[in-house]
Amino acid sequence: MTPTPRRFDHSGLQILDDGESLELLSSVPIGRLVFTKGGLPAVRLVNFVLDGDSLIFATADGDKYRAAERGDVVAFEVDAVDEDRHLGWTVTAAGHLSVIDPDEAESLRHGLPLRPWAPQHDSYLIRLGIESLEGRRLVPWAQRPHDQAAGKGAG
């Protein structure tokens, strides 16, 4: 079987497929949830767990919970950067937030490795159903396309 050729966007970043993106997403314990608060973007660090095609967060009764009650469209981003070697990757998931039913939440709390980091007592679980997933990787110079035309039209 022939390996799938690497694809690059217009800036020379490798475009990751959904499988690679999900693998990277699940490799870190914390990310940034981007939602709307008072008509403006808000960003909160959250710990999470990947559950199939959803991200699960624990939260108290606050801004994130209200966004989930409304079913807001949000974005979630994780990344890793090696500043010394100028390498790294980023994965962004987008979709609708929802509040997880208390009975299902109780079951998930026992079945998933989700442990709140904040000193509060998180009382709700919310879900981001992944509807869109994008991943990019900054690869070593020798692996990048040197003809900028090679990346045109992608991403």
Give the domain range for residue 55. 7-139
- pLDDT number for residue 148: 47
CATH number at residue 109: 2.30.110.10
* Blockwise average pLDDT, block size 10, the chain, 155 residues: 77 94 95 94 94 91 94 97 92 97 81 66 87 94 56 48
127, part of any domain: yes
135, part of any domain: yes
Q: Are strands 14-16 and 124-138 parallel, antiparallel or unpaired?
A: antiparallel
Q: What is the signed CA dihedral for 69, 94, 25, 118, rounded to 10 degrees?
A: -30
146, part of any domain: no
- pLDDT number for residue 99: 96
Summarised one tens digit per residue, pLDDT across range 111-145 is 676 766 666 666 889 999 999 999 999 987 656 66
- pLDDT number for residue 121: 65
Nearest CA-CA partner of 128 in 12, 44, 4:
44
Q: How many domains does the chain have?
A: 1
1, part of any domain: no
For the whole prediction, is pTM greater than 0.85? Answer: no
